[in-house]
Amino acid sequence: MRKTKPSLPAQAADIAMQMALRQISFGAATVPSSASALPPVAPNGDTLVLRRREWLLEVMEQQRALSPYASGLLTAENLSGDDFLHSFYAPGRPVLIRGAMTGWPAIERWTPDYLAERVGDAVVEYQGGRAGVGDYELAKDRHKRRGAFRDFIALVRDGGNDAYITAYNSAANQSAFAPLADDLGQIDAYLTGAPGMLWIGGEGAFTPLHFDLTNNLLAQVTGTKRVILIPPSQTGRLAHRRHVFSDVHDVTDPARIAAHPQARDVLRYEVMLTPGDLLFIPIGWWHQVRSESFSTMLTYTSFLWPNAGHENYPAG
């Protein structure tokens, strides 16, 4: 039987004409070949129901693996709103988008020196005291700190994971960061225009393995970040016990994998974000993020389409 190229709905233009798509490298992964390879389920759950659910997810992943196009992480340039909706947002498929932030002054301006001068001594909220504490993401309120922004920049210049301005601090920092708004552009093809949530950190700043309760668009402004993405089908291997976090914490850490061997061969994709890159992370996709240099990034959730999965999450 002859294979046919994937097609979009009639409302969307031919994807081959609209996007420059190519495969990007990702870590080798092993997709189990049978349900017998599935990890054990929690003893207090309905074992048969959960095993059937895991079986279905595995079979769907095996099906996608038959096609490099269906299973690969795609990169797009000049991606229209319709193509984004039909090929990625609605299907819940990640995509790396280039070219949408061309002309943003922040990409050239946002050095540590510029930011310190522009925001100055305005008091900001940040996450502090993270080094050596394993649950700093789960216990965000415990790690809230306040101080002059200029002093925060001094803390992160030399790298490390102890201090980090994250999306969780955005509401508290709106006034302090108002002088930076003119350095940003708009992404009107996908977003409503509501402001994004700013992340600022040094080399080594790390967000451990988790999934979000909304669809997210990451906009890398300066510096580089390494993102590892893992599809929802792998949840049974990721020791998911607490809220949206994995006890594995870091799938690149041999010690963590030794403690959670079921995560050794999870299917995963690796992306290096550079200035001007957008990464769409659909709701439910596991990811961990590490700054490879001093880095600034925005996270947007104000899409033109519904994004309300968080409203009925069973957060027991």
Pair (193, 59) in one structural domain: no
Please answer whether residues 295 and 222 qualify as being in contact, where contact means their C-beta atoms are separated by less than 8 angstroms: yes
Residue 38: pLDDT over 60: no
- pLDDT at residue 121 above 90? yes
Same domain membership, residue 57 and residue 167: no
Say how many domains are in the chain. Answer: 2
- Stretch among 64-73, 92-101, 182-191, 266-275 having the lowest mean pLDDT: 64-73
CA 200 to CA 205: how far, in whole Å? 9
Q: Is position 82 within any domain?
A: no
Q: Which residues contact 101 (CB under 8 A, 6 or more apart)?
A: 107, 185, 187, 219, 221, 275, 276, 277, 278
Domain boundary among 46, 64, 82: 64
Does 139 map to a domain? yes
The pLDDT assigned to 45 comes to 53
Q: What's 218's domain CATH number?
A: 2.60.120.650
In a domain, 14, yes or no: no
**Residue 310 pLDDT > 60:** yes
pLDDT at 200 over 60: yes
Total count of residues recorded for the chain: 316
Within this chain, do residues 39 and 144 fall inside the same structural domain, yes or no? no
148 lies in the same domain as 46: no
Asked if residue 47 belongs to a domain, the reply is yes
Q: Is residue 168 part of a domain?
A: yes
Q: Say if residue 63's pLDDT is above 70.
A: yes
Q: HEC states along the chain?
A: CCCCCCCCCCCCCCHHHHCCCEECCCCCCCCCCCHHHCCCCCCCCCHHHHHHHHHHHHHHHHHHCCCHHHHCCEEEECCCHHHHHHHHHCCCCCEEEECCCCCCCHHHHCCHHHHHHHHCCCEEEEECCCCCCCCCCCCHHHHEEEEEHHHHHHHHCCCCCCCEECHHHHHHHCCCCHHHHHHCCCCCCCECCCCCEEEEECCCCEEEEECCCCCEEEEEEECCEEEEEECHHHHHHCCEEECCEECCCCCCCHHHHHHCHHHCCCCCEEEEECCCCEEEECCCCEEEEEECCCEEEEEECCECCCCCHHHHCCCC
Which of the pair, 211 or 14, is modelled with greater confidence?
Answer: 211
Q: How far apart are CA 280 and CA 212, in angstroms?
A: 12
Q: Give the pLDDT band of residue 29 (cuts 50, 70, 90).
A: very low
Hey, what are 293's tokens?
Answer: 């240099």
Q: What's the confidence (pLDDT) of residue 44? A: 53
Average pLDDT score, the chain? 87
Predicted pLDDT of residue 39: 52
* Residue 258 shares a structural domain with residue 110: yes
Q: Which of 254, 251, 296 is nearest to 273 (CA)?
A: 296
Task: Quote the CA–CA distance of 145 and 155 in Å, as a whole number.
Answer: 12
| Residue 2 pLDDT | 35
pLDDT at 48 over 90: no
On whether residue 5 sits in a domain, the answer given is: no
Shared domain check, 289 and 214: yes
pLDDT band at 314 (very low <50, low <70, confident <90, very high): confident
77 lies in some domain: no
Together in a domain, 39 and 149:
no
Domain that holds residue 287: 101-305
Same structural domain for residues 53 and 161? no
User: Same domain for 109 and 60?
Assistant: no
Question: Range with the lowest mean pLDDT among 10-14, 41-45, 77-81, 200-204?
Answer: 10-14
pLDDT interval class at 289 (50, 70, 90): very high
Q: Model pTM?
A: 0.85
Same domain, 52 and 181: no
Residue 170 has pLDDT above 70, yes or no: yes
Residue 86 lies in a domain: no
Whether 54 and 196 map to the same domain: the answer is: no
Asked if 146 and 207 sit in the same domain, the reply is yes
CA distance linking residue 309 with residue 307, whole number of Å:
6
